[in-house]
Amino acid sequence: MSEAIVSVFSDHVCQLGEGPSYDPATETLYWFDIVNGQLLEKPLSGGAVKIHELGQMASASAVVDDKRQLIATETGLHVRDVATGKMTLHTAIEANNPATRSNDSRVHPCGAFWVGTMGKGEAKAAGSIYWFFRGELRRLYSDITVSNSICFSEDGTVAHYTDTSTGLLMRVGCDPATGLPAGEPKIFVDHRKAKGYIDGSVLDRDGVL
Contacts of residue 116, Cβ cutoff 8 Å, sequence gap at least 6? 102, 103, 104, 105, 127, 128, 129, 130, 144, 147, 148, 150, 161
Instruction: List the 17-23 sheet strands across, edge first.
Output: 17-23, 28-33, 38-43, 50-53
How many other C-beta atoms are found inside a 10 Å radius of the C-beta of residue 141?
A: 19
List % helix, strand, coil for the chain (3-state, nearest 5).
0, 50, 45
Q: Is 199 a catalytic residue?
A: yes
Catalytic residue among 81, 155, 190, 199: 199
- Angle value at C-alpha 146, between 131 and 187, nearest 5 degrees: 75
Distance CA 102, CA 108 (A): 17
Q: How far is CA 103 from CA 11, 38, 195, in A?
A: 22, 14, 22
Q: How far is CA 154 from CA 73, 110, 132, in A?
A: 26, 10, 19
Catalytic residues: 199
